[in-house]
Amino acid sequence: METEFTANDQVAPEEMQSLLESVGGAPYSSIERNATALSGSIFVAAARHKGRLVGLLRLVGDGAYVLHVADMQVHPDFQRKGVGRKLMGMAIDFARKKKTGTGDNSGEFTLFARAGADAFYEKLGFILAPNGMVLTDTGSRRNHELDHQRRWAKQRAKR
């Protein structure tokens, strides 16, 4: 059976949690927060294999000036098999239909890439935008973000 891709699929918070657990994102998530995240998404693309959620992409924003990839998760067994590329293609098509941050349209279509994933997004037409900012209102949040930046820069330097 092929992997099926759908836009605005009804994704349950529990299956989102299962996917997050498979990629190591579960410590930062909960079923309750997943429900809030899913309901606040302007676009959701899902990949399912035999009915099981194996890929998820969520966009948030206003649909006029700003679209942001809030989640892009692919189960490890399905990585490097075109699932992420297809999900991103669906999101880019949505942005083009909304005329937001694509072509000569105003606005921004943004994302934060994990260390090492930037090359994937660059192949899809994204470029590094060093003027992005992240709120770090506590010492632990600041340390987390600075640690992430160091890992990201080290990974990028290896390329």
pTM, whole model, 2 decimals?
A: 0.88
pLDDT digits (tens, 9 = 90+) for 10-62: 999 999 999 999 998 777 889 999 999 999 999 999 999 999 999 999 999 99
43-49 and 52-61 strand pairing: antiparallel
Cβ neighbours of 23 (radius 10 Å): 15
Residues 103-156: pLDDT tens digits?
A: 888 889 999 888 788 889 999 999 888 778 888 888 888 888 888 888 888 888
Q: Domain segments of the chain: what residues?
A: 4-111
Third-level CATH fold of 4-111: Aminopeptidase (3.40.630)
